[in-house]
Amino acid sequence: MNILHIVPYFYPAWPYGGTPRVVFELCRELVKKGHNVTVYTTDVLDKNKRVEQTEATVDGLALSEVEGIKIKYFRNISNSLAFNQKVFISPVISKALKENLKQFDIVHLHEFRTLQNAAAYRYLTKYKIPYVLSAHGSVLRLMGKEFLKALFDTYIGFKILKSAKRVVAVSNIEVEQYIKMGVERDRISLIPNGINIYEFENADKVKGNFRRAYKLSNKNIILFIGRLNAIKGIDFLLNTFAILIKDIKDTILIIAGPDDGYKNEIERRINLLKINNTVLLIDGLYGEDKISAMTDADIFIYPSRHEIFGIAPLEALACGTPVIVTENCGCADFLREVNGGIVVKYQDISGLLDAMQNILDKKEEAKKMASNGIELVQRQFNWDEITKNMIKLYKTSYM
């Protein structure tokens, strides 16, 4: 199949969260399975950086190929607007869609309310090219800009949903969100996100590196990795940790991730709670540094207010680390089924406190729970199996 993916941010724009990494892993696996894969995206990397221009750059379009994936980076008008407001303006993409769309068998749209999807919809319907949509948790009007989101939906959003052959949900939470937006249940396919399990095969080899680098050899480490955004529930974690540290002294909380508009509030709350000496903020952990931190941590916590899935807890499990997530995380249902992690209610401080204390006090039980989680990850969240399901979806959509 000739497959086109349209996504506002892509490899290596990791500061934009899980979506670019998920789409990259899917595309890479599709190439391995013999498909021709092209990605239309913008040139954003983070708030200040863009994809480097090359000799192949023409009219604001940078071309690249990574592991067999053909990538077209369309110039985005404003990096700041993209990073801070999540508005990606890349006018040249319309011309490319008009001229090239007919060569593809199937198109996969990622995210929901993007100008790239609006431009694609026009030509997808004109040329009768089938497409599927992965909203990645963006289908409901959550976390601000409700009026603008309603305008988008009125003019084109509902049309995009209605005309999609299938929509992809990564969790039961997202299934219900699509239904609330008027999508029929029989057009929703539940295909969870995955992780590159091979990336964590040698996690034991980097064990201890993070503790040595930050001089934490005798500390209990509680770890959060993710974007510093209000939706991640970091305030809930800080409030609970401030109580924990009164009883379990040799414990440190690591909060690692790129600022997504919430770092100042985190720092303000740390000062207010007077836990400056027991909280370490790190701008981001990637690659081997991330694996080392997850392997060295005693607990990985994902305290989100709302998380459509949650890749980071699965990565922590792949490192053998016990995890705690809120019931608002899409991966919570999967963890419950196999006793692969502890699930607590968002803002239930006593529940989170008990969960952290239990893991620190009963390490053998916690190790067994993490072992259950590892088996779940290897069985259900490997990209080989997930991609096979996605290929079946593509074939039923265009045949």
* Residue-wise pLDDT tens digits, 305-321: 888 888 899 999 999 99
Cα–Cα distance measured from residue 344 to residue 240, given in angstroms and rounded to the nearest whole number: 12
Q: What is the mean pLDDT of residues 243-271?
A: 94
Q: Give the pLDDT mean for 216-242.
A: 94
Q: Nearest CA to 68 among 100, 38, 105? A: 38
User: What is the model's pLDDT at position 376?
Assistant: 86
Least Cα distance to 211 among 160, 252, 255 occurs for 252
Q: Is the pLDDT of residue 214 over 60?
A: yes
250, amino acid identity: D
Q: Domain 2-194+382-398, what fold? A: Rossmann fold (3.40.50)
Within 201-324, where are the H helices? 209-213, 234-247, 263-273, 287-296, 311-318
Q: pTM of this prediction?
A: 0.84
pLDDT score for 16: 87
CATH topology of domain 199-380: Rossmann fold (3.40.50)
Position 30 scores a pLDDT of: 97
Percent of the chain topping pLDDT 70: 97
For the chain, what are the domain ranges?
2-194+382-398, 199-380
Indicate the helix (H) or strand (E) that contains 38: strand 36-42
CB 340 within 8 A of CB 346: no
- pLDDT score, position 59: 59
pLDDT of 85 above 90: no
Name every residue whose Cβ is closer than 8 Å to that of residue 130 and which is 6 or more positions away in sequence: 105, 106, 107, 165, 397, 398
pLDDT tens digits, one per residue of 274-283: 999 999 999 9
124-133 average pLDDT score: 96
Task: Compute the CA torsion angle 17, 23, 24, 28 (nearest 10 deg).
Answer: 160
Q: Residue 155 has what DSSP assignment?
A: I
For residue 54, pLDDT over 60 is answered with no
